[in-house]
């Protein structure tokens, strides 16, 4: 069965420092996609970054990068130069069944000034 | 920008009522989804639809039904609301086009069943 695991319920980071949010996944399908979403306290889910299982390079989007280690089945999100506005819930998700997503439990990130 | 609009941000209903949650998207997306979000459990898929008048059960469909009469609108129905359906409900849509097709979410509906 497909599964996404986020083992960090909460994280703290100092403003301007980098932080890594962990995500491991389990699937037997060779073709899949991995997504990260941000959910501020207001509730909306914001798409951040995507990594395909066949992509040769790690995905990057501005201050966000995805540390994709296929053999270890991990897809950690790295946020560089943290800002106060980065404080939010972060969800890792996997798509390998025609557009359906499976989500992890989420990690609550708090950025300290 | 893709806009997914959910009819209510906050809703309070009574046990046994029939509850309708409405979702509309303006990007002509083929796929639409309903999730519920509970602390420590992430988002769980209730129902989804790949086309008009088509629906598929997700991981937790019990107690819910859906309707998709038009491409842009996907409704979630709680047939007889119960207190364990108190939750945050999120609607999403995505396209079938080439390339990366992330799901785009509405702002969510916080539903309380008393």
| Number of separate helices (H) and strands (E) present in chain A | 0, 12
- Number of alpha carbons in the 13 Å side-chain half-sphere of residue B37: 24
Torsion of CA A27, A29, A35, A37, to 10 degrees: -50
Least CB–CB distance from B42: residue in A44, A47, A91: A91
Each residue's pLDDT expressed in tens, for chain A with a length of 113 residues: 789 999 999 999 999 999 999 999 999 988 899 999 999 998 889 999 999 999 989 999 999 999 999 999 999 999 999 999 999 999 999 986 667 899 999 999 999 99
Chain-chain contact of A91 with B105 (C-beta, under 8 angstroms): no
Least CB–CB distance from B107: residue in A44, A47, A52: A44
Q: For B52-103, what is each residue's pLDDT tens digit?
A: 989 999 999 999 999 999 999 999 999 999 999 999 999 999 987 666 788 9
Question: Is A76 at the interface with chain B, CB within 8 A?
Answer: no
Question: Is A28 at the interface with chain B, CB within 8 A?
Answer: no
Distances (CA, A) of A79 to A13, A23, A47, A94, B73: 10, 14, 14, 19, 35
Q: For B21-55, what is each residue's pLDDT tens digit?
A: 999 999 999 999 999 999 888 899 999 999 998 99
Nearest to B3 by CA among B81, B70, B92, B65: B92
Chain-chain contact of A105 with B48 (C-beta, under 8 angstroms): no
- Number of alpha carbons in the 13 Å side-chain half-sphere of residue A43: 18
Q: For A85-110, what is each residue's pLDDT tens digit?
A: 999 999 999 986 667 899 999 999 99
Q: What does the pLDDT read at residue B2?
A: 67
Work out the pLDDT band at B1, boundaries 50, 70, 90. Answer: low
């Amino acid at each position: 069965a497909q599964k996404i695991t986020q083992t960090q319920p909460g994280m703290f980071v100092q403003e301007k420092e980098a932080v890594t949010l962990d995500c491991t996944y389990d699937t037997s399908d060779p073709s899949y996609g991995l997504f990260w979403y941000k959910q501020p306290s207001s509730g909306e889910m914001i798409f951040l970054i995507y990594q395909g299982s066949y992509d040769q390079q790690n995905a990057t989007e501005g201050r966000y990068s995805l540390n994709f280690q296929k053999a270890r089945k991990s897809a950690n999100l790295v946020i560089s130069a943290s800002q106060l506005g980065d404080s939010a819930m972060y969800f890792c998700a996997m798509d390998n069944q025609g557009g359906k997503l499976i989500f992890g439990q989420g990690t609550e990130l708090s950025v300290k000034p | 920008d893709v806009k997914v609009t959910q009819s209510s941000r906050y809703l309070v209903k009574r046990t046994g009522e029939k509850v309708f949650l409405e979702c509309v998207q303006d990007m002509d997306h083929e796929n639409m989804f309903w999730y519920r979000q509970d602390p420590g459990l992430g988002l769980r898929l209730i129902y989804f639809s790949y086309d008009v008048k088509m629906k598929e059960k997700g991981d937790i469909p019990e107690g819910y039904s859906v309707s998709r009469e038009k491409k842009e609108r996907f409704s979630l129905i709680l047939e007889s609301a119960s207190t364990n359906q108190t939750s945050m409900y999120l609607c999403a849509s995505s396209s079938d086009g080439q390339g990366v097709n992330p799901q785009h979410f509405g702002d969510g509906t916080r539903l309380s069943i008393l």
